[in-house]
Structure 1
Amino acid sequence: MPIPLDPDPTERPLAFLCAEMRKHRLRCDFTQDRLARIIQFSQSLVGFIERGERTPSQNFMQRYDDAVDAGGELVRLWAQLTRGASPRWFRDWLEVEQEAHTLHSWEPLYIPGLLQSEDYARVVICGEPGISVAQVDKAVTARMERQAIFQRPQPPMFRVLLDEGVLHRPIGGKKVMQRQLARLLEAVESPRIGIQIIPMALGVTTGLLGGFAIAQLPRSPDNVYIESATHGHVTDRPEDVEAIHARYDALRATAQPEHASIELIREAEKQWT
């Protein structure tokens, strides 16, 4: 039987990172379960990541590196793997998102990244003019690993407002949309995630110029993320934060209650089957 070769770090960077993680964990004589308790993530997530089925977040990787006393080696490998996966202007928000205890989001056009299925995310990302296949793959991986924040022992509260049109916009076709709406219904089973739909019939115009998000942080001012056609803007300027809070409150006042919103999602999912 041939001896398996170690993964090539240049050709298979994620496989190489996973192999190095396991090597350091075994050197410390840690089981996955023991390590998960130390870094305060679920054992299932540790397993997914070590098998290369999920890409770790920066917070996960730093805690893992510290726990196995890797001296920053694993964090450096992670940085090489994820470098360039997200636009530079979005990286500030990723750091804010990792620290937030509560997130609020408004999206008038599509499902927010934290709740996107992989197929849906791929179609959305492919819409960027001139993007290469390799860039799409890297960006999809980065978007999926963001969702690891919901695997924490203490995940953030996430409250989402969606325009009803999002449920009916044919992004990727019937199968992609059906799976995406099923993903939303699965997400709202968590008491930490809530989705409210704003009916199209109301003709609400607040927020139609673009999506935004609000992050509430421990012992820090709120931060907001504001989308535009070419890039996003992250700020904690009081006047900007106040303006976004006012828009969010106005939108939420027109939204359906959560139980009625879930029924709207269910009805839309049936239409895509």
Structure 2
Amino acid sequence: MPPRRAVTGRSQEPRQRYVEELRLLRAEKGDSLRQLGDALGWDWSLFGKMEKGQTLGSPEVVEALDQHYGTPGLLLTLWELAAGDPTQFKERYRRFMALEANAAGIQQYSPAVVPGLLQTETYAYRLLTRGGLVPGADLEQQVEARILRRKVLSGPGAPECRAILDEAVLRRGLLDCAEWQEQLKHLTDVAKQPNVTLQVLPFAAGLCELPNTDTALLRKPEGSTVAWVETGDDGQLIQENVRVERLQFGYDRLRDHALSPRESAEFLLRVLEEVPCPSATPS
């Protein structure tokens, strides 16, 4: 096994440390990218992208590299550390959005906040600032990207979408009454679309499945389903059948506990009526 390199200041970053090791091990082996591709049976361009940090590669590829270089477990461990790097959240989220844009069906459960596909621009702005973004170009770009996602639900070929919102989503609104009314009215409008079903999971249902995990189940055009789960500061794309089926079971149980679409529409209107009217500006 090659001797271990000292951890430099630069390579303390998990992703960069992983990339460095890929490059160094191939240099020590004396392989070109094409030779590496031929030896392992993957397109050589994949290894080039991995060594540039453009992708981490799959666990199967990394395990094959460990075997090829005689470093059992080393690269896979570095891969796991790199996958936990915050920069990977953005990469995983981009993959999720690409799948969402082409989904034949979307099932969403939100325990605490209005899901991205149903947010108004103002709600998205307030939520992202609460998440730590400061006003500026990056915040504006993220708000714009989130609003553009709403187009998924309209137009030709729009997917069937079912969104289950915990009652907490509707009870913890924006402090500005006008902004909150705008968001609630948007929910009532979206729920009228023929391809969208909105349901409310009331407090009266008690403790239910998926209690603190924002979950989206995406049915791909060919029929298989993938899932996206998100907590406060991280998200994960899940494709393993067993884990997806477990989430699907939990979602189906939530739907059983939720109010019917008609009852949910009436509930939403009652919440909207309870919001105080914005104070009139004195003439």
Partner Cα separation in structure 1 for residue 127 and residue 133 of structure 2: 13
Residue 241 of structure 1 corresponds to which residue in structure 2?
244
Tell me the CA shift for residue 188 of structure 1: 1.2
Instruction: Tell me if 1:124 matches 2:127.
Output: yes
Residue 95 of structure 2 corresponds to which residue in structure 1?
92
In structure 2, give the amino acid aligned to 1:119.
Answer: T
Superimposed CA distance per residue, residues 63-84 of structure 1 (whole angstroms, 9 cap, x where no aligned partner) = xxxxxxxxxxxxxxxxxxxxx9
In structure 1, give the amino acid aligned to 2:109.
Answer: W
Residue 204 of structure 2 corresponds to which residue in structure 1?
201
Instruction: Tell me if 1:253 matches 2:256.
Output: yes
User: Runs of 4 or more off by more than 4 Å in structure 1?
Assistant: none
The answer as to whether partners of 2:208 and 2:254 remain within 8 angstroms in 1 is no
Residue 230 of structure 2 corresponds to which residue in structure 1?
227
Secondary structure of the 2:212 match is coil
Tell me the CA shift for residue 204 of structure 1: 2.4
Q: 1:161 aligns with which of 161, 164, 172?
A: 164
Partner Cα separation in structure 1 for residue 183 and residue 262 of structure 2: 19
The answer as to whether partners of 1:103 and 1:216 remain within 8 angstroms in 2 is yes
Tell me the CA shift for residue 201 of structure 1: 2.0
Superimposed CA distance per residue, residues 40-98 of structure 1 (whole angstroms, 9 cap, x where no aligned partner) = xxxxxxxxxxxxxxxxxxxxxxxxxxxxxxxxxxxxxxxxxxxx9x9222101001101
Q: 1:161 to 1:192 in 2, by over 3 A?
A: same
Tell me the CA shift for residue 147 of structure 1: 1.0
Q: 1:256 to 1:179 in 2, by over 3 A?
A: same
Tell me the CA shift for residue 220 of structure 1: 4.7
Tell which structure's C-alpha radius of gyration is larger: 2
Tell me the CA shift for residue 132 of structure 1: 4.3
Instruction: Tell me if 1:137 matches 2:144.
Output: no
Partner Cα separation in structure 1 for residue 231 and residue 153 of structure 2: 26
Q: 1:112 aligns with which of 112, 115, 120?
A: 115
Residue 171 of structure 1 corresponds to which residue in structure 2?
174
Partner Cα separation in structure 1 for residue 170 and residue 266 of structure 2: 12
Tell me the CA shift for residue 230 of structure 1: 1.8
Partner Cα separation in structure 2 for residue 192 and residue 267 of structure 1: 23
Partner Cα separation in structure 1 for residue 134 and residue 150 of structure 2: 23
The answer as to whether partners of 1:120 and 1:172 remain within 8 angstroms in 2 is no
Residue 55 of structure 1 corresponds to which residue in structure 2?
none
Partner Cα separation in structure 1 for residue 116 and residue 175 of structure 2: 15
Superimposed CA distance per residue, residues 100-139 of structure 1 (whole angstroms, 9 cap, x where no aligned partner) = 0100000010111001011111101111225442221111
Q: 1:143 to 1:130 in 2, by over 3 A?
A: closer
The answer as to whether partners of 2:205 and 2:258 remain within 8 angstroms in 1 is no
Which moves more between the two structures, 250-259 or 221-230?
221-230
Partner Cα separation in structure 2 for residue 110 and residue 173 of structure 1: 16
In structure 2, give the amino acid aligned to 1:141.
Answer: E
Residue 30 of structure 1 corresponds to which residue in structure 2?
none
Q: 1:139 to 1:252 in 2, by over 3 A?
A: same
Q: 2:149 aligns with which of 127, 146, 149?
A: 146
Secondary structure of the 1:182 match is helix
| TM-score normalised by structure 1 residue count | 0.66
Residue 8 of structure 2 corresponds to which residue in structure 1?
none
Supply the RMSD in Å over aligned alpha carbons: 1.6
In structure 1, list runs of 5 or more residues that go unmatched: 1-83
In structure 2, give the amino acid aligned to 1:246.
Answer: F
Tell me the CA shift for residue 184 of structure 1: 0.6
Q: Percent of aligned positions with the same letter in both sequences?
A: 25
Partner Cα separation in structure 1 for residue 175 and residue 98 of structure 2: 30
Residue 17 of structure 2 corresponds to which residue in structure 1?
none
Partner Cα separation in structure 1 for residue 133 and residue 148 of structure 2: 24
The answer as to whether partners of 1:181 and 1:269 remain within 8 angstroms in 2 is yes
Partner Cα separation in structure 2 for residue 130 and residue 106 of structure 1: 24
In structure 1, give the amino acid aligned to 2:210.
Answer: G
**How many residue pairs get matched?**
189
The answer as to whether partners of 2:160 and 2:195 remain within 8 angstroms in 1 is yes
